[in-house]
A and B are shown apart, each in its own frame.
Chain A
Amino acid sequence: MRSNQVAVVGAAETTELGVIPNASQLQLHADAALNAIADAGLKLSDIDGFATAVETPQQVCHYLGIKPTWVDGTSVGGCSFMLHVRHAAAAIEAGLCKTVLITHAESGKSMIGKAPRSIPVDSLQGQFEAPFGVYGPPSMFPIPVLRFMKTYGITHEQLASVAVVQREWAAKNPRAMMKDPITVADVLNSRMIAYPFRLLQCCLVTDGGGALILTSADRARDFPRKPVYIMGTGESVETPMVSQMETFNSSRAFKTAGPLAFKEAGITHGDVDHLMIYDAFAHLPLFGLGDLGFMPHEETGKFIADGNTRPGGKLPLNTNGGGLSYMHSGMYGMYALQESVRQMRGIAPAQLPNAKISVCHGVGGMFAASGTIVFTNER
């Protein structure tokens, strides 16, 4: 795909984030979509392409009254929306549609109109993981951590500092769920969830949603908001079973998606002004920094603990507070994308001065899938 041929021209989250007891999951999709459509100055009838995950395109299109000529129901977990952006950009370039709406919403906390996730007993996960006591992401996602720590000499304190630094960013964000400062000691004394991870190293569980609108870069100039161009994209999947990853020392999906996006964008790591790495749990930024090639994995823990990713640091990371402190409805990728777009538009609560390139890296499942988008505000 060619760089900067497609742009984000509409972006919005649900009107409320956090605990939303008065709306179903489907209505949260609609709320985010209507906000994004208003942001772009469009009408619903202008949308001719649609993508979403978990809910089906037919469900959301019918509810909103959208009549699409292109749909994408890719549903690979929390990075599905990065993949939607990639697929939408290709579809717009190919002329399959002109204006794509991507929605995410999840009643992750209130569980209104949301089917519970379940693992079929005759699936491979149901046969070869579920019987051994895995029960939701906190019992599965951290399984690689101890091996990763041993291989690279990462300490518990360094992993705790991930949560501390992200709370510093969240403190600048009025919409963040958790804003009170925390220390490494606070993290290491918080309730044990799944050793080695404690409560403050695990993501929040909230309600919310978000939506993006993409169109061709040539049309984007006529929209009210500053266009944010799709500069590079990458995607991959590995395995739905965390136990079957090729190695616990890195993520194959990360190592495939990230470099694809950098190559397509034609950038090097020194060009990156702003970075989002989906942080469902505290180890993900370490995997991400290493697998995306910012530094050897050995250096990632020290890099974060030394303050390089905090406000004022040389590589601002997860500037909305991340899944650990901002919000996490279950599929956080959409919120990471929203923050990249805000930073590129120049309207983020913790806005970085002169940021021109933002890399947004997502994970789906427990390292099962990955999508990376490079954004820029210059064409």
Chain B
Amino acid sequence: MAEPQRARPKPTPETQHFWDGTKAGELRLQRCDACAHVYFPPRPFCPSCASRKVSAFKASGKGFLYSYVINHRPAAPGFTPPYAIAVVELAEGPRMMSNIIDCPQTPEALELDMKLEVAFEKLDDAITLPVFRPAKG
């Protein structure tokens, strides 16, 4: 019997550019051409000023650990507990949920405000997830 699979996102027309980006090794955010607001999750208009003139751009991939839980039970399919579910604040402003790799999943190792950088975890040919690791240096 196959192992239970991690929840697999299904892109929509509005989010496809984001998932194309992760597949290409880029974390893409959107910026409003009218008011310069940077936002996430993706949508083809600015949630701050309602302009439909917006552009996707490659984010720095840098951020810091805003908050997290270390989930023990019940574990999601495809995850071995305990594992951290983190919210990362990106240098450009928006926050996103993710996982922290290359780091013990403990309160001692996972310090709030620690610097993080994006990495990419390929699920399959269509979907690559953005995850984060402690920043070097």
Residues of chain A touching chain B, judged by Cβ–Cβ distance below 8 Å, are 119, 121-122, 124, 126-136, 138-140, 142-147, 150, 191-197, 241-244, 248
Contacts and interface: CB of A to CB of B under 8 A. Distances in A.
A128 B41 contact: yes
Contact of B97 (A129, A142, A145, A248): A129
Given A143-B85, A146-B68, A195-B82, 4 more contacts: A136-B74, A147-B66, A147-B112, A150-B112
Give the secondary structure class of B's interface.
loop
17 contacts: A124-B15, A127-B12, A130-B7, A131-B9, A133-B71, A133-B85, A138-B71, A139-B69, A146-B67, A147-B67, A150-B112, A192-B73, A194-B70, A195-B71, A195-B107, A243-B95, A248-B67
A195 B84 CA distance: 9
A124 B11 CA distance: 9
Nearest to B78: A133
B65 to A, nearest CB: 9
Given A139-B85, A147-B67, A193 B73 contact: yes
B69 A143 contact: yes
Which secondary structure dominates chain A's binding surface? mixed
Nearest to B77: A135
A131 B68 CA distance: 15
A148 to B, nearest CB: 8
Contacts of A146: 67-69, 112
A132 B74 contact: no
Contact of A130 (B9, B15, B96): B9
Contacts of B12: 122, 127
Interface residues of B, number: 39
Contacts of A244: 40-41, 95
A329 B40 CA distance: 33
Given A131-B129, A132-B97, A145 B10 contact: no
A121 B8 contact: yes
A282 to B, nearest CB: 13
Central interface residue in A146, A191, A192, A243, by most chain B CB within 10 Å: A243
A359 to B, nearest CB: 28
A121 B10 CA distance: 5
A303 B87 CA distance: 29
Nearest to B97: A243
A175 to B, nearest CB: 28
Which of A122, A136, A146 is most buried by chain B, counting CB atoms within 10 A of its CB?
A146
Which residue, of A129, A138, A142, has the highest number of chain B Cβ atoms within 10 A? Answer: A129
Nearest to B80: A133
Contacts of B74: 135-136, 138-139
A122 B78 CA distance: 19
Contacts of A119: 7
A320 B75 CA distance: 31
A140 B86 CA distance: 10
B120 to A, nearest CB: 13
Interface in B32-62: 40-41
Most chain B CB within a 10 A radius of its CB, from A119, A133, A197: A133
Nearest to A246: B95
Given A122-B12, A128-B97, A194 B72 contact: yes
Nearest to B79: A133
A134 B74 CA distance: 9
Contacts of A191: 72-73
Given A121-B8, A243-B96, A135 B71 contact: yes
B73 A131 contact: no
From B66, B87, B123, B129, residue with most partner A Cβ within 10 Å: B87
A118 to B, nearest CB: 10
A293 to B, nearest CB: 24
User: Which of A132, A134, A150, A248 has most B Cβ within 10 Å?
Assistant: A132
A368 to B, nearest CB: 15
Contacts of B82: 192, 195
B76 A133 contact: yes
